[in-house]
Structure 1
Amino acid sequence: MSTSTRTRTGKSQQAVGHGLSRPHYGTHIFLIVMSIMWLIPLGWALFTALRPKADTDKYGYFSLGGAFNFDNFVTAWTQGGFPQYFMNSLIITVPTIILVLWMSSMMAFAVSRVSWKFNISMLILFTAGNLLPPQVLATPLFEMFKLTQLPYWFSDSGSLLNTYISVIIANTAFQIGFCTFVLSNYMKALSADLTEAALVDGAGLWRQYASIIMPLCKPAVAALATLELIFIYNDYFWPLLFIQSGDRLPVTTAINNLQGTFLSNYNLLAAGAMITVIPTLIIYLVLQKQFVAGLTLGSSKG
């Protein structure tokens, strides 16, 4: 290789190296600004929850004067009845997540790893269901659940209304499409040699699904479980529509118990809102590694 050729090669490699190591100041500034915008409401709610109402009335909400303590959290916990409401949310959220991930994973396996006549049509149908606003089906679902007769030992209303099952059914139906779409794309990125080798060894579809595909989808399932927990736990619409008994409502409605008739204690309301955030924050911190892996691994496959 001549000297001029080596010089040009070295310059091109140096230029490529400079291009790869170029700092992305614009991206960093944008991410910092967006992070601050997202954290300001949360930080302000925590700041308000730590201050007694008397101090905010005296100094104003935009002030630093006065004391800081956890009295509002203690009052909100006892006055809002959070233990019972947390249990209600647990009864609704856990079965819904299990049903959604189980059904959507089977459907995603059918449309992505099995060749049959309607696999693309079914995937389009499930994906299109996400475009339908839930409010459109509120009245038909309410009438359908009201007309579904159940024995009184199972439901005190004699129907699906005022039961946890009605909320679980609605949330499951509206979340399956999204999870099916995500898991099917993730499963398509997995090598086809895996299932072909298993088929040669005599493994049926159920064995391929349970022993080969699903273990490889753990990052995606963990990410979806985290997202679904946030979606279902924070849902306010379906429980308010289908459940009439106040002692069966989820924790998202417990803040209503802190609302005064003529005067609102916003410090107490902020404390109640912060209490409702704690479970989702803990789940995210526990599953943070799997959550990030599930969002990034699929983009690098195929």
Structure 2
Amino acid sequence: MTVAVAEAPLPAGAREPGERPARRRVKPARVVLHAFLVLVSLGWLAPVLLSVYASLRPYQETAEYGYLSWPRHLTLHYYTQAWQDAEMPKYYLNSLVIAIPAVLVTLFLASFLAFAITRQKIPGGKILLVMFTAGNLLPPQVLLIPLYTLFNRIPLPYAMSDSELLYDSYWGVILIHVAFQTGFCVFVLSNYMRTIPHELTEAAVMDGAGVWRQYRQIVLPLCRPALGALATLEFTWIYNDFLWALVLISTGDKMPVTTALQNLRGQFFTDYNLLAAGAVLVALPTVFVFSLLQKQFVAGLTLGANKG
């Protein structure tokens, strides 16, 4: 005797075996959004691609046919010339001496301040956070003359600065970057630390963990995506700085790599293809840092995008 077994109904949204998935309808608003994002991306990439393209062509060719013409000859000669004429290795080292300590000190101070504001019941914590945030609204150009005068009056030991002043030393430029970038980092990290459950630190307190241990072993590892995103941004901003190094450093051998491009400009004639090759070489370390921290950077940007 055959017994008919009733088939259970398929869940909502499920497909029969072998059935093709239904095509999702593409909304016009989504098409417009993607088209806009593509145009914006091309707008940002166009100058970079044009610089790379120009750096591979002789100046005589672009002068005769134009920068957007079809290439007759491609060469890497300009990169070799820019590397040698601009003394890139020396200026790379100068930029790293400024950027790496500034980024590390900024992230350490900002993370500890954000931890104190969000995890410790300190009086006036919200007012302190508002002050740090408001400090980002101050234009740095307003402080050029006061800081120039102040740095010329602050002495340093000869072991720290051969000028025996805070002016014309790496320390002065590093301090300026730390002072201006800490407020932004405190604002970002404090907002991120508020999303971390307080039960974690409360459990650590019950186990006898002190403030330093809570910060170093509980909160800081959970902030790795935010720290990675901030490290990428801060390194890019500090490495690309030209203003403060120009104002606070007078010795040419101490200048960062952004000023090395001046060595490629002639008194009466400037080969812009050579200058483009130098600009590409200057930008390479930021590309390397982004590639190294890309995973943390993307994770930091997408925080809170998905629930759970």
Report the TM-score, using the length of structure 1 for normalisation. 0.91
Equivalent residue of 2:161, what SS? Answer: coil
> 1:58 deviation in Å?
2.6
In structure 2, do the counterparts of structure 1 residues 154 and 205 end up closer, same or farther at CA, with 3 Å as the change threshold? closer
> 1:61 deviation in Å?
2.0
Equivalent residue of 2:57, what SS? Answer: coil
Q: What is residue 31 of structure 2 aligned with on the other side?
A: 25
Q: What is residue 127 of structure 1 aligned with on the other side?
A: 133
Q: Are 1:76 and 2:82 counterparts?
A: yes
In structure 2, do the counterparts of structure 1 residues 215 and 153 end up closer, same or farther at CA, with 3 Å as the change threshold? closer
Distance 2:163 2:149 in 1: 14
Which of 221, 226, 234 pairs up with 1:220? 226
Distance 2:69 2:202 in 1: 66
Checking the alignment, whether the CA contact within 8 Å between 1:72 and 1:267 is kept in structure 2 is yes
Distance 1:213 1:246 in 2: 43
> 1:77 deviation in Å?
0.5
Distance 1:224 1:170 in 2: 17
> 1:300 deviation in Å?
4.7
Q: Are 1:251 and 2:261 counterparts?
A: no
Distance 1:276 1:218 in 2: 28
> 1:104 deviation in Å?
0.3
In structure 2, do the counterparts of structure 1 residues 145 and 299 end up closer, same or farther at CA, with 3 Å as the change threshold? farther
Distance 2:67 2:39 in 1: 24
Distance 1:209 1:151 in 2: 34
Checking the alignment, whether the CA contact within 8 Å between 1:85 and 1:250 is kept in structure 2 is yes
Distance 1:231 1:294 in 2: 17
Q: Are 1:274 and 2:280 counterparts?
A: yes
Listed as ranges, the matches of 1:65-104 within 5 Å are: 65-104=71-110
Q: What is residue 41 of structure 2 aligned with on the other side?
A: 35
Give the aligned residue type for 1:238.
W
Distance 2:81 2:102 in 1: 31
Listed as ranges, the matches of 1:80-229 within 5 Å are: 80-229=86-235
Q: What is residue 6 of structure 1 aligned with on the other side?
A: none
In structure 2, do the counterparts of structure 1 residues 117 and 151 end up closer, same or farther at CA, with 3 Å as the change threshold? closer
Equivalent residue of 2:74, what SS? Answer: coil
Distance 1:104 1:180 in 2: 5
Distance 1:184 1:300 in 2: 20
Checking the alignment, whether the CA contact within 8 Å between 1:59 and 1:66 is kept in structure 2 is no
Q: What is residue 4 of structure 1 aligned with on the other side?
A: none
> 1:226 deviation in Å?
0.3
Runs of 4+ in 1 over 3 A off after TM superposition: 20-23, 151-154, 298-302
Checking the alignment, whether the CA contact within 8 Å between 1:100 and 1:172 is kept in structure 2 is yes
Q: What is residue 17 of structure 2 aligned with on the other side?
A: none
Checking the alignment, whether the CA contact within 8 Å between 2:102 and 2:174 is kept in structure 1 is yes
Distance 1:43 1:276 in 2: 15
Larger radius of gyration: 2
Equivalent residue of 2:136, what SS? Answer: helix
Equivalent residue of 1:158, what SS? Answer: coil
Q: What is residue 15 of structure 1 aligned with on the other side?
A: none
Distance 2:39 2:158 in 1: 55
Which of 40, 45, 59 pairs up with 2:51? 45
Query: How big is each residue's C-alpha offset from its partner over 1:41-73, in whole Å with a ceiling of 9 and x where there is no partner?
Result: 111011100001121123222311420110111
> 1:138 deviation in Å?
1.1
Checking the alignment, whether the CA contact within 8 Å between 1:226 and 1:291 is kept in structure 2 is yes
Distance 1:268 1:139 in 2: 34
Query: How big is each residue's C-alpha offset from its partner over 1:139-158, in whole Å with a ceiling of 9 and x where there is no partner?
Result: 11111110012234442322
Q: Which has the higher helix share?
A: 1
Equivalent residue of 1:147, what SS? Answer: coil
Equivalent residue of 2:100, what SS? Answer: helix
Q: What is residue 267 of structure 2 aligned with on the other side?
A: 261
In the alignment, structure 2 segments of 5+ residues that lack a partner are 1-11, 14-21
Query: How big is each residue's C-alpha offset from its partner over 1:222-269, in whole Å with a ceiling of 9 and x where there is no partner?
Result: 110000000000000110001101111000000000001001100000
Q: Are 1:236 and 2:239 counterparts?
A: no
Give the aligned residue type for 1:117.
P
> How many pairs are equivalent?
290
Equivalent residue of 1:297, what SS? Answer: coil
Report the TM-score, using the length of structure 2 for normalisation. 0.89
> 1:281 deviation in Å?
0.6
| Higher alpha-carbon deviation: 281-290 or 175-184 | 281-290
Distance 1:108 1:118 in 2: 13
- Tell me the percent identity: 48
